[in-house]
Amino acid sequence: MATTGHCAYCFEILAADLEDREPLEYTRVQDLWTQYQSLNKLKAADSENQEEEDPASQDGDDLGDRDSEMDGLEDGEEDDEADEEPPKPARSGLRLPSINRLQAPSPSSGSSSSTPSSLSTASSRAALGDASKSSSNTSFFSFGSRRSQQPSPAARPREEEYPLFVTWNTISPRGNKSLRGCIGTFDPQELSTGLKSYALTAAFDDTRFTPITSPELPHLSTSITLLHAFEPASHPLDWTLGTHGIRISFTYHSKRYGATYLPDVAVEQGWSKEETVVSLMRKAGWGGRREGWRDVGVQVVRYRGSKAVLGWEEWRGWRRWVEEGEGGR
């Protein structure tokens, strides 16, 4: 299952690259992120309990209110309740151990469901393998980059492997989301190396956009989609909106085409299934008449995705917590 901890690792990788520093290791980020979230939950719970268990001042106010009511004051008047601000990341005196110091849909991306590496099953591998035989004239199927990292030769526990996509979005002051880069792979990846590789590739090597720069960091959000449950569709519309992502392949004028949309795309764009398939064919490079798309012989593999999203501010709050804990040693 995709988690915000995976998103935090992608932010760590991108920020470290732009700041020319060594990033924290994958397992370290996961551990510290879990600690940070747990600590904030405990503090929030303690704060709520204190408010419930300290009625003294409230009782005094109530008595005063009753007196006013009896005197006929404040007749029929009520105070508006202010909305509570979301809890800010709490700073902690916690002392941490020393810290030792990688293309998807144009309009959008993303969905959610979890599974333990279902590509290990024969049916999923067969469906994915057949679809993988097609090639694409786009950078959708970018299997690696100049920034790819090879796994460490040192012995380590085997990680779960998933095909994955990393998406970067820019968030406007009004909260509008704009795609800034999205690249992934259908080859199962160990998360420590796959997320690291594609976090950078999506940020710097998506040919639809200029590379992300340091001043853009505070305006970014990232989403991670882990793919699973691949199976061939019986026909091009044999899939469910909002549940399945689709990967298409077809031959047109002796040329092979292929492309994919992640599960959230069609719903976010308000497309029907037919509109989604035609849009995807256009994205792959098909230039035929729209009404003739059914004659092309499109093959579809449907799949599901587990998605997590994280914004800059939440990541930055965690990073400050890490830095302050380390500085207090």
What pLDDT shows up at residue 56? 54
- CA–CA separation, 95 vs 286, rounded Å? 58
8 Å CB contact between 109 and 264: yes
* Average pLDDT score over residue span 237-246: 98
- The CA-based angle 227-229-231, given to 5 degrees, is 120
In terms of C-beta density within 10 A (0-12 exposed, 13-18 middle, 19 or more buried), how is residue 237 classed? middle
- What are the tens digits of pLDDT across the range 185-221? 999 999 999 999 999 999 999 999 999 999 999 999 9
- What are the tens digits of pLDDT across the range 284-312? 999 999 999 999 999 999 999 999 999 99
CA distances (Å), 318 to each of 8, 20, 87, 236, in order? Answer: 9, 19, 13, 44
> Among candidates 147, 150, 143, 145, which has minimal Cα distance to 192?
150
8 Å CB contact between 220 and 180: yes
Please tell me the least confidently modeled range out of 70-84, 223-237, 278-292, 297-311.
70-84
What pTM does this model have? 0.69
CA distances (Å), 87 to each of 2, 45, 166, 315, 324, in order? Answer: 24, 11, 28, 15, 19
- CA–CA separation, 277 vs 264, rounded Å? 14
Tell me the average pLDDT of the chain: 78
What pLDDT shows up at residue 90? 41
8 Å CB contact between 131 and 230: yes
Look at 302 and 82; give whichever has higher pLDDT.
302
- What are the tens digits of pLDDT across the range 138-167? 333 333 343 444 445 455 567 789 999 999
Rg of the chain taking only CA atoms, in angstroms: 25
- CA–CA separation, 54 vs 58, rounded Å? 8
8 Å CB contact between 59 and 134: no
Highest mean pLDDT among 60-74, 150-164, 225-239: 225-239
Q: What is the b/e burial string over 86-98, where b = at least 16 CB atoms within 10 angstroms of the residue's CB?
A: eeebeebeeebee
- What are the tens digits of pLDDT across the range 250-266? 999 999 999 999 999 99
Domain positions in the chain = 4-37+99-327
What pLDDT shows up at residue 155? 52
Inform me whether the pLDDT recorded for 66 exceeds 90: no
* Average pLDDT score over residue span 53-58: 58
3-state secondary structure the chain: CCCHHHHHHHHHHHHHHHCCCCCCCHHHHHHHHHHHHHHHHHHHHHHHHHHHHCCHHHHHHHHHHHHHHHCCCCCCCCCCCCCCCCCCCCCCCCCCCCCCCCCCCCCCCCCCCCCCCHHHCHHHHHHHHHHHCCCCCCHHHCCCCCCCCCCCCCCCCCCCEEEEEEEEEEECCCCCEEEEEEEEEEEEEEHHHHHHHHHHHHHHCCCCCCCCCHHHHHHEEEEEEEEEEEEECCCCCCCCCCCCEEEEEEEECCEEEEEEECCCHHHHHCCCHHHHHHHHHHHHCCCCCHHHHHHCCCEEEEEEEEEEEEEHHHHHHHHHHHHHHHHCC
